[in-house]
């Protein structure tokens, strides 16, 4: 057994549905152009809710209002191009978005946003950044919703306790 501590990369994802379509982003990755939920890495000092709101805004130029937790997912990805082996811990939240903010640029690497039907998302699975894109949509369609209060961020995240 390894003495190295397991440290998965924590990510947050916005599962956004409107009028029977899901909002995805098309982005550049080492594996080429891929589709993903608006998602990204949690930053230091940031709660998962703050992170998903920030990531959705950066990647879609739309304000995201989380309404529920869809699920917490653990997955492993081995990048063919570099051999990198990463385990991700993803918090997926569903909610609504406002209109695109005029003049706001999409985050670096994001080519465009797309509204796709569930069948279009399923048909594009070979282009997904990870299997979690489809899994999160399917869980959302199945009605998986948990209260936002399920994910608690302790105040020590921003103001760490000093043990004396």
pLDDT digits (tens, 9 = 90+) for 89-117: 999 999 999 999 999 999 999 999 999 99
Whole-number mean pLDDT of the chain? 93
Q: What are the structure tokens assigned to 25, written together?
A: 């982003």
For residues 163 and 161, what is the distance between their CA atoms, to the nearest angstrom? 6
The rounded distance, in Å, linking the Cα atoms of 113 and 22 is 10
Q: Which CATH class is domain 9-150?
A: alpha beta
CA distance 142 to 72: 15
- CA neighbours closer than 13 Å in the CB half-sphere of residue 23: 27
Three-state DSSP class for 109? Answer: coil
pLDDT of the chain along its 164 residues, tens only? 667 888 899 999 999 999 999 999 999 998 899 999 999 999 999 999 999 999 999 999 999 999 999 999 999 988 777 888 889 999 999 999 999 999 999 999 999 999 999 999 999 999 999 999 999 999 999 999 999 999 999 988 877 666 66
Calpha distance 85→70 (Å, rounded): 26
pTM summary value: 0.91
């Amino acid at each position: 057994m390894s003495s190295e501590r397991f440290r998965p990369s924590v990510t947050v994802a916005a599962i956004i549905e409107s009028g029977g379509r899901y909002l995805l982003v098309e982005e550049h990755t080492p594996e080429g152009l891929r589709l993903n939920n608006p998602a990204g890495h949690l930053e230091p000092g940031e709660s998962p809710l703050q992170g998903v709101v920030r990531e959705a805004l950066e990647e879609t130029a739309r304000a995201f209002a989380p309404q529920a937790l869809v699920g917490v997912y653990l997955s492993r990805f081995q990048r063919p191009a570099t051999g990198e082996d990463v385990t991700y811990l993803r918090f997926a939240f569903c909610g609504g978005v406002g209109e695109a903010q005029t003049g706001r640029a999409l985050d670096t690497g994001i080519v465009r946003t797309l509204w796709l039907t569930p069948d279009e998302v399923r048909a594009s699975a070979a282009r997904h950044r990870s299997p979690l894109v489809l899994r999160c949509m399917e869980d959302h369609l199945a009605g998986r919703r948990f209260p936002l209060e399920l994910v608690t961020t302790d105040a020590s995240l921003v103001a760490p306790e000093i043990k004396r």
